[in-house]
Amino acid sequence: AMLLLDERADVHVLLTNCLKNDLNSSTQFIVGTALCTLAAIASPEMAHDLAHEIERLIASSNTFLRKKAILCAFRMVRRVPELMDEYMPKCAAFLNDKNHGILVSTITLVTEMCEQSPVVLNYFKSSIPTLVRMLKTLIVSGYSPEHVVNGVSDPFLQVKILRLLRILGHGDPDQSEIMNDVLAQVATNTETNKNAGNAILYETVLTIMNVESENSLRVLAVNILGRFLLNSDKNIRFVGLLTLVRTVQRDMTAVQRHRITILECLTDADSSIQKCAMELSFSLVNAQSIEMIVRELLKYLATADADMKSICSSKIVSAAELYSPSVHWHLDVLLKVLTITGNNIRDDVISSTIQLISNAPRDEQSFISGKMWEAITNMNQLENRQPLVQVAVWTLGEYGEAGNFDEDELIEHYRQLLWAPQLSITTKQYILVSLAKISVRMEHCTANIQNIINTFRAHLNVDLQQRAVEFSTLFTSYGHLRAALLEKMPTLKISDMASSEYNSDFTASEDAQPSTASPSAESTGTPLEDRSNQDILLDLLGGDSFGSGSTSSATTPSPMQQQQQSAPNADFLDLLGLGVNGNTIPSTVISNSVPDVGATTITVFSRDNIDIRFFIRKEADYAVVTVKTTNNSLNMLDKYMFQVAVPKAFRIRMQEPSSTVMLPGESIVQDIHVERLNATVTGVGLRMKVRFSYEIGNYSMMEQTDVNEFPPDLFI
């Protein structure tokens, strides 16, 4: 039955009596099979009906049945969390058992209960000395010879203990101090020549980085991951890189010591290792390392596949925008990115390059104009590098001065580009506008330029035809206005393109300080006209009830905070992709809580193997919403981000998520503190607009939904 049915099948309700009879059988194998079936297909109703049978079997003297019953209870607790109260005292006693199977199954059940309830978590903190003593025994003297794997004493039990310690010690310095010595012993005494030892070291590293461990212990953990990167096994190298990506913010200095090894992984033949090394390399970028890291990333960019070229090039541009040592170096990097990436580049790189050139000093503009001219004249297959052509002709149109080029050669090259059938319409639009602008500064070529433009007056593409007609009219009827209309563009405002995609990676390590912003973050707000448009949009989406989604806890407002205050609708508009800027303000960092079994639960999203639930509990003058996102797919989810907007009557503080990466079956927990600004105003109930995004494989996913099912008495 358990192979053919699941808990959604109607016929399973008929199995309750059958399973109850089997659970009372005198044959242990029949009872064991019934327990397996119950664990596989039990619905909440069936779990309630047979809960007493499970409790009875957990207390059985038969270790085979007791182990099966504990594992069945693990499945029951996952489906019906309120059943866990009956198992807590028994599990605490079973932690002193000597049987390997009982210990492994008990720790599995305790881990699940601690993840679901803070009450259970606090209850089992008293068992930390028992777990530490058990782990120390496994390291020093071994537990039992029959459970030794490749010279490692009972690695399965060690892994289970480490995972439970990781949960019990999270955010608790006192309990973490009890674990420090044994974690150091595990890290230094475990053999690394076999996979069993590497698995234990991996769990040890995660535990060290997740609890409040000493700084020296975190350095030791990072060094273990550094040794993983030197392993000949590609799987271990990948695990080392992935773990460094997840833990880099806990000890950036220690990870920086392994920068050279990480950069060497960019040349690995395995594409997964290359991608992970690339992500980690960008996390290590700072003002001191930018030149070396970008140099290696450019080498990687030349050999990367099309999808990775797009991602890597955009991140190189973002990193260079934040940390470039000079404008000259910055321009040179952008030119190399455009040359290497070709047509795989993102549009934001083109706009960013144009903005930088517009804001560069005059001598740098002349320098890049010459470099761009050399690039498009000396390079073959320009149809595969059309973003480079677009930036080059824009630069020549704005800053190409007479005398710096052979003017006849320049016009002839433009003619060839315009007549090239391989070039896109967008590229030809750039070329046509550039040609018109050049005519102002190269007077003796005006007639030749006019003839080229006139040929496009009958072009099949409407946009090119319209541009040609308008430019031709400037030459014939409005010659006195041509110079003024085609003069250089004013300096373009540099957009903060790095704030959302790159710089947010550094927010978690700077507790209450805003992340570094580009110059545009210091602007004082949006124009009045823009604000009016935003207000209209808010009216369409529910009037003026929605406002800022988060506030900063800093006492003295930073420029970013002042900007946030000047645009009260910015957070909500940013949630819809229509915000006034790309900056976000890191909220007060508070410790994540574990979802409370007694809390009100709301299912926010359950689709595409992603499950998001709200666990809501009421405090004295505010409410805590614990967001638990679970990855039920078979793939790793990366770059997870969760955003909310609330009505103006409320204020929220969001904690950093427990992680931004979800392996299959794992969850991410994040707390939101919600406070009503005016306790006397009761007309507006709590509502949330929720948006979350993540990457799976090479695809970016984004979902948005409304949550209106909050308890009406939450703020009464």
Pairing mode of beta strands 650-654, 667-676: antiparallel
Q: According to the model, what pLDDT value does residue 277 have?
A: 93
The answer to whether residues 290 and 330 touch, using CB atoms and an 8 Å cutoff, is no
What's the CATH number for 317-485?
A: 1.25.10
Confidence class for position 576, pLDDT limits 50, 70, 90: very low
Is the pLDDT score of 78 beyond 70? yes
Average pLDDT over residues 375-401: 88
pLDDT, tens only, 526-537: 333 444 444 433
Q: According to the model, what pLDDT value does residue 613 have?
A: 92
Average pLDDT over residues 498-519: 32
Closest CA to 625 of 602, 609, 641: 602
Distances (CA, A) of 175 to 122, 124, 208, 613: 11, 11, 12, 29
Is the pLDDT score of 648 beyond 70? yes
Confidence class for position 716, pLDDT limits 50, 70, 90: low
The answer to whether residues 217 and 254 touch, using CB atoms and an 8 Å cutoff, is no
Counting every residue, how long is the chain? 716
Is the pLDDT score of 402 beyond 60? no
Measure the CA–CA gap between 333 and 350, rounded to whole angstroms. Answer: 13
Residue extents of the structural domains in the chain: 317-485, 498-575, 600-707
Confidence class for position 54, pLDDT limits 50, 70, 90: very high
Is the pLDDT score of 153 beyond 70? yes
Average pLDDT over residues 32-59: 89
Measure the CA–CA gap between 252 and 261, rounded to whole angstroms. Answer: 15
Q: According to the model, what pLDDT value does residue 595 have?
A: 60
Phi, psi of 628 (to 5 degrees): -115, 115
Measure the CA–CA gap between 272 and 237, rounded to whole angstroms. Answer: 10
pLDDT, tens only, 261-308: 999 999 998 989 999 999 999 989 988 899 999 999 999 999 888 888
Lowest mean pLDDT among 71-85, 122-136, 245-259, 557-571: 557-571
Comparing 315 with 10, the larger pLDDT belongs to 315
Confidence class for position 69, pLDDT limits 50, 70, 90: very high
Is the pLDDT score of 554 beyond 50? no
Measure the CA–CA gap between 137 and 182, rounded to whole angstroms. Answer: 10
Is the pLDDT score of 376 beyond 70? yes
Q: According to the model, what pLDDT value does residue 224 have?
A: 93
Average pLDDT over residues 663-689: 78
Closest CA to 70 of 116, 82, 84, 43: 84
Is the pLDDT score of 163 beyond 80? yes
Structure tokens at 627: 């967001």
Confidence class for position 142, pLDDT limits 50, 70, 90: low
Q: According to the model, what pLDDT value does residue 46 have?
A: 87
As its CATH architecture, domain 600-707 has: Sandwich (2.60)
Average pLDDT over residues 13-38: 88
In degrees, rounded to 5, the angle at the alpha carbon of residue 693 between the alpha carbons of residues 708 and 615 is 40
What's the predicted TM-score (pTM) here? 0.62
**H or E stretch covering 617:** strand 610-618
Is the pLDDT score of 515 beyond 50? no
Average pLDDT over residues 199-228: 92
Closest CA to 584 of 575, 594, 576: 575
Cite the beta strand spans of 129-283 per DSSP E: 148-149, 152-153
Distances (CA, A) of 38 to 23, 42, 70, 87, 308: 10, 5, 12, 17, 46
Is the pLDDT score of 556 beyond 60? no
Q: According to the model, what pLDDT value does residue 2 have?
A: 59
Q: According to the model, what pLDDT value does residue 569 have?
A: 44
Average pLDDT over residues 112-132: 92
Structure tokens at 539: 């009216």
Is the pLDDT score of 403 beyond 60? no
Give the distance from CA 347 to its chain's centroid.
21
Structure tokens at 194: 């076999």
- Give me the torsion for CA of 330, 331, 335, 341, rounded to 10°: 30
Closest CA to 80 of 115, 122, 105, 47: 47
Q: Which residue has the tokens 């890291």?
A: 293
Average pLDDT over residues 395-412: 80
pLDDT, tens only, 171-182: 899 999 999 999
Measure the CA–CA gap between 339 and 368, rounded to whole angstroms. Answer: 13
Average pLDDT over residues 591-620: 79
Is the pLDDT score of 594 beyond 70? no
Closest CA to 396 of 438, 349, 441: 438
Is the pLDDT score of 698 beyond 80? no
- Residue by residue, DSSP assigns 546-578 as B--S-----SSPPHHHHHHHH-TTHHHHHHTT-
The helix, strand and coil proportions of the chain, stated in percent and rounded to the nearest 5, come to 60, 10, 30
Is the pLDDT score of 560 beyond 60? no
Structure tokens at 694: 């993540």
Comparing 347 with 402, the larger pLDDT belongs to 347
Pairing mode of beta strands 623-631, 148-149: unpaired
Q: According to the model, what pLDDT value does residue 596 have?
A: 58
pLDDT, tens only, 444-478: 788 899 899 999 998 999 999 999 999 999 988 88
Confidence class for position 541, pLDDT limits 50, 70, 90: very low
Confidence class for position 525, pLDDT limits 50, 70, 90: very low
Measure the CA–CA gap between 357 and 362, rounded to whole angstroms. Answer: 9
Measure the CA–CA gap between 285 and 333, rounded to whole angstroms. Answer: 15
Confidence class for position 617, pLDDT limits 50, 70, 90: confident
Closest CA to 106 of 80, 69, 140: 69
Confidence class for position 36, pLDDT limits 50, 70, 90: very high
Measure the CA–CA gap between 133 and 139, rounded to whole angstroms. Answer: 10
Q: How many other C-beta atoms lie within 10 A of the C-beta of residue 304?
A: 23
109-113, 149-153, 362-366, 589-593: which is most confident: 109-113
Average pLDDT over residues 490-494: 75
Q: According to the model, what pLDDT value does residue 563 have?
A: 41
Closest CA to 591 of 563, 567, 616, 626: 626
Average pLDDT over residues 208-218: 90
Q: According to the model, what pLDDT value does residue 533 have?
A: 43
Please report, rounded to a whole number, the percentage of residues in the chain having pLDDT higher than 70: 81
Average pLDDT over residues 50-73: 92
Measure the CA–CA gap between 77 and 87, rounded to whole angstroms. Answer: 9
DSSP 265: G
Q: According to the model, what pLDDT value does residue 473 have?
A: 92
Pairing mode of beta strands 650-654, 637-645: unpaired
Is the pLDDT score of 513 beyond 80? no
Closest CA to 516 of 530, 502, 526, 528: 502
Longest alpha-carbon distance in the chain:
106
Burial of 83 (0-12, 13-18, 19+ CB in 10 A): buried
Please report, rounded to a whole number, the percentage of residues in the chain having pLDDT higher than 90: 35
Full strand arrangement of the beta sheet holding 637-645: 637-645, 688-696, 699-707
